[in-house]
Every structure is written in C-alpha cells, then in structure tokens.
A and B are shown apart, each in its own frame.
Chain A
Amino acid sequence: MKQTLAQKLVARAAGRSTVTPGEIVTCKVDLAMMHDSGGPRRVKPLLERLGAKVWDPSKVVVITDHYLPEYDDESRKILRIARDWVREAGIDNFYDAQGICHVVLPERGHLKPGMFAVGGDSHSPTGGAFAAYMFGIGSTELLGVLVTGEIWLKVPHTIAMDFDGAFARGVSAKDVMLFLIGRFGLDGGQYQAVEYRGPAIRQLPMQERMTLCNMTAELGGQTGLIASDDVTRDYLKAEIERWDSDPDAALLAHHRFNASELQPQVAAPHSPANTRPVTDFQQKIDLAYIGACTGAKLADLRMAAAVLKGRKAKSKLIVAPASLRDQQAAEREGTLQVLLDAGAELLANSCGMCAGYGQHQLGENTVTISTTARNFKGRMGAASAQVYLASPYTVAASAVAGCIADPREMLA
C-alpha cells in the first residue's frame, strides 16, 4: 500500500508496517518536549498524585522560554519549579534561558527524521520540518506520555501544499503561511497532516521550513511535514534517514501553487486568516515587533537586516531573537549590528510579547506589525491593540516607513 510521509512516521511509531487514515493507533513516543508554562509546574503535582515517575528521562527535553525574563513572584516561582523538577526527575536535557523551545530543540540536535515526538505547546508542529511527526498536546496529555511513553492518535489524512517554481525576493515562508491560512481558514488543515512539497519548498533553508510547519498550527493541521533531504542533513551536520511520501500515496487534497506569483502578505486584526497582499495596506503603525519562534530565528533576523541595512526605523522597533545561539550568530556576522543601527531595542531570547505572558505588553490602541504567529484580540496586551502579522521583511520595511510597507521596494 502506498503511504504518505505522515502514515509512514505514524506506522513506525505504532510498530506497524502500514496504517490507514482514520484508524486509531497507539504510538510510542521518541521525544517529549515541554516548556515552563505547560510543563513542570503543571505535570509535577499530577505525577505526585499518581505516585508515578517519568517513563524515560532521556527522552524528555525541558526548555524555559515563556516566563523569561522573570519579573514578579509568579514568574519566579514558575521558573523555580522547572529548575527544581528537572533535577528531581533526572532530566539532563534542560535548556534554561537559551531561547524558544521550538528553535532550541532542533538547534541542540534533538530532532531527527523518522522520530515521533510531542510537545507541550501548540507550535510543536515546527519539528515536522525535520520529517519528524511532532504535534502539540496539553499538560494532562503530556502527563499521560510521561507516565506511559505512549499516546493515541487518529491516523491523519494528508493535505499536500505543492509549490512549483521559486519564491520572489522579499517573499518568505511567513508569506506562504499567511496566504494559505487566508485561503483555507484557521481550520483549513482539518487537524490532519499538512505536507509542504515542490521545488520552491526544497530550496528553502531549514529555519524557513520550520516557519511553514510552525504556522501549520494556525492553519489547523495536527502537524506540518517536509520530507528530509540534503538541506536537512546539512543543518543537522549528520547522516540522516530519508523519509518521504510515496509518489502515488492517496491524499485528502493536493493544492498546487506557482511560488513566483506569491506576494508579501499581511494579516489584519484579529485573525491570522484575515490576510491580503501587502499592497492593500497603508496603515500607520506605532511598533514593529520582530520576535517569536515564528519570526525571530537567524534566518528571520537576516531578512529584517536585508531591509534595514543603512536605514533607520521611523516607528519603535523591538527585536527579541528566538535563541541565544541565533543571536550570537547574528552578532558574529554583523546582522545584529544592522538591526541595532536601525534603532532596534533588544529583548531577551524568549517568547517575549508574542503571547502576552511577560512584562512587555501592548498598551491601549497600539498599532503593531509583528512577525509572530497570532493576532487574536487581546493576545499581546490590551484588547483595543491592533496587531498585523507579516514577514520579517515586511515588518522591517514597515518600521522604516512608519506604516505598513512593501519590502520589495527597499530590497531592489
């Protein structure tokens, strides 16, 4: 039977040769990732209640990112629980203040093609960029995995998003996702597997592929997947297994696009599905925010720098690099200096303003353009705040113009 990439990954984890979309299977989990918010502070009391231990501490990765930097008694307490619990539970894979979990996890070599992984965060499909089946779960289900090492799954159908040709300069993975979410809606993924493929996808570097899979959350897929290839191998600096869909495997839908026709996209308040081409907007902005797992990786910082080089931001510009290593790399190559010279204010390597957990929040009626993944009402601060979502290119161009601007003019 011809199998999709999703079916093959699920079959391996279920100990089967093939699986059929729609059937319920139990999968063995190769890796469980969690952060400070949905992780230790919630699973520790439940483990104690059950009198249970972590099934295999070597398969658990804990990364602090949501309540950093600590700024009050509550955030300090949440971080303390995480730091104490990893010691008690014997978890060596602990990354404290190293960056956002979805970026740090592959950066530190924890993901490999063929794996079956869960994460205690909705953007966990990011791992699918490495041809690993990875999806987000809540704390109680995470507890279930920690106790049993297993999880149930309805074998997903696959929706293929196939991009022919090549993306134009100034167009990025973020534009692809805003376009797809605008086209198919927040539930367009139907909680199935969304597979990105085609020549334009093969040309994308790993961190751009991660952005595609990351925002599969906003498209409503369970996971986003990309076949492993030489780009995957070069990023991981190791020989890898090649995982791909069989050419004739049955798909729920197969959407084909010409990559060269895609324009920069902007999602207006208050939904990532409220998307139109950047040329439709003239909105004045107060703040340009470059942050989050979706939009502040090294590849994203480079895009912003390509626009900002030799220019000054007219609006307030805040940059929160997604990981410490990415920030250090950006510093070494001069990318960070370009951002600072343009007037950027730096925040810590954490989730920052994206989900409104920390001390930096949007004030009443603030108009922001952001590289983050979600602009739901009130998410980043005041309910009256207006958040537009766009690529790092477009956010940088908008910072320079003081209003939403087409980056292609500044890249010419």
Chain B
Amino acid sequence: MKAWVFGDNVDTDAIAPGRYLKFDIGEVARHCMETIEPAFASTVRKGDIVVAGRNFGAGSSREQAPEALKHLGVSALVAESYAGLFYRNAINLGLPALVCPQAKRIRPGDDIEVDPASGRLANRTTGEELRCEPIPEFLMQLIRDGGLVPHLEKRLRTTS
C-alpha cells in the first residue's frame, strides 16, 4: 500500500479544515490536507497508508479528522506519536493508528504493509522490516468490530 508521508505536528485544521465542518464528511474529506498537501485528497487511493512524525493530529477534538482520512480510503496510520485525543478518535472509528518510532525511515510512495495486532511493518520498496508498538488488545477489539459504535451495538445486543 502506498505511503503518504507527512512531518511533525500535523494539526486537525490541516486534516479537516474548520470552515467545511458544517458539511457532510464527503465535502470535509475533499479538503483534507489541502493547506499542506493539495494533491492528497484527489489522489489518495483506497488502502493507502498515512505516515507521519511526532504528534500527528494535534489540536481539535473534531472527529472529522480521522473520519475524513477513513472516508478517503486510508487503511492505517503510522506515526512516531499521536495527539492523544486524535488517537482515541481514530481507534473509536476503527482506523488503526500505529506508533512507530522509526516512521521517518519510510519515504513518500514506498509500498508498505502493516499488521496492527502484531505491530509488524514491511516496507516492500526497501525490503526493510520496521517494528510498531502493537495496539493493546482491548483497543484491537474495537478496531475488529469496526469502531466503538458497532462495538456498542454488539454489546447492547448481548445484554438485551
């Protein structure tokens, strides 16, 4: 899957600009990253992976940030670290967010594959294998269910 590489402190105003939040997610997603990578929203393909440096998703609680990435088909995030609020939002939407201390070894356009549960990341372009921190099991359950809403649906079904 193609890697889209961003730097440190990518903020939620870049990922989901405030002025479009009054519209539905399709419109928000069309403007995703437009202030820092104008070609992103129109060229990102289903399955692509967003790679970043430190503190990805800094700023707002707006869930449209991970939602826009997911809407565009992004299958996983790989970053040195995340803003905590963004991280919780991504997991709650079922978007795997992996912490990879070596994320900066990945170049734009590299063909990479990640396994969220084990934390293994294969870079097919360079042949390199990188280690990500495995996502804790209780959060993997949320991701496997497709996010917090389907997870709650399941839980409410079992209790009723």
- CB-CB under 8 A for A187 and B58, given A136-B85, A141-B92, A357-B21: yes
Instruction: Count residues of chain B with CB under 8 A from any CB of chain A.
Output: 37
Tell me, yes or no, whether B42 is within 8 Å of chain A by CB: no
Give the shortest distance, in Å, between A219 (CB) and chain B (any CB): 11
Q: A75 — nearest CB in chain B belongs to which residue?
A: B22
Partner of B22, one of A74, A137, A383: A74
Cross-chain contact B54 with A378 (CB below 8 angstroms) = no
B14 at the A interface (CB under 8 A):
yes
> Interface digits, B72-96 against A, CB 8 Å rule (1 contact, 0 not)?
0000000001011101110011000
A352 to chain B, nearest CB (A): 12
Q: Place the interface of chain A in its size category.
A: 35 or more
Decide if A24 touches B138 in the complex (CB within 8 Å).
Answer: yes
Task: Report the Cα distance A24→B61, complex, angstroms.
Answer: 21
Q: How far is the CA of A191 from the CA of B56 in the complex (A)?
A: 13
Contact B55 A378 (CB under 8 A): no
Task: Kindly specify which of B43-51, B105-113, B122-130, B149-157 makes contact with the partner chain.
Answer: B149-157
Shortest Cβ gap from A259 to chain B (Å): 27
On whether A377 and B13 interact (CB within 8 A), knowing A136-B61, A186-B58, the answer reads yes
A-B interface contact total, Cβ < 8 Å: 124
User: Which one of B21, B85, B153 lies within 8 Å of A37 (CB-CB)?
Assistant: B21
Pick the contact of B55: A74, A122, A187, A357 (CB < 8 A): A187
Q: Does A50 contact B (CB under 8 A)?
A: yes
Q: Shortest distance in angstroms between B157's beta carbon and chain A's nearest beta carbon?
A: 10
Chain A neighbourhood of B148, CB < 8 A: 140-141, 143-144
Of all chain B residues, the one with the shortest Cβ separation from A41 is B22
Q: Is B62 an interface residue (CB 8 A)?
A: yes
B63 touches A378 (CB 8 A): no
B36 cross-chain contacts in A, Cβ below 8 A: 377
Residues in chain B near residue A141, CB distance under 8 A: 88-89, 92, 148
B interface residue numbers (CB < 8 A to A): 9, 11, 13-14, 17-19, 21-23, 35-36, 54-55, 58-63, 81, 83-85, 87-89, 92-93, 136, 138, 147-149, 152-153, 156
A-B residue pairs in contact (CB < 8 Å), sample of 23: A24-B136, A24-B138, A38-B61, A46-B149, A49-B149, A49-B153, A72-B22, A136-B61, A138-B63, A143-B149, A147-B156, A187-B9, A191-B83, A220-B84, A222-B84, A355-B13, A355-B18, A356-B13, A357-B22, A374-B11, A376-B14, A377-B13, A383-B35
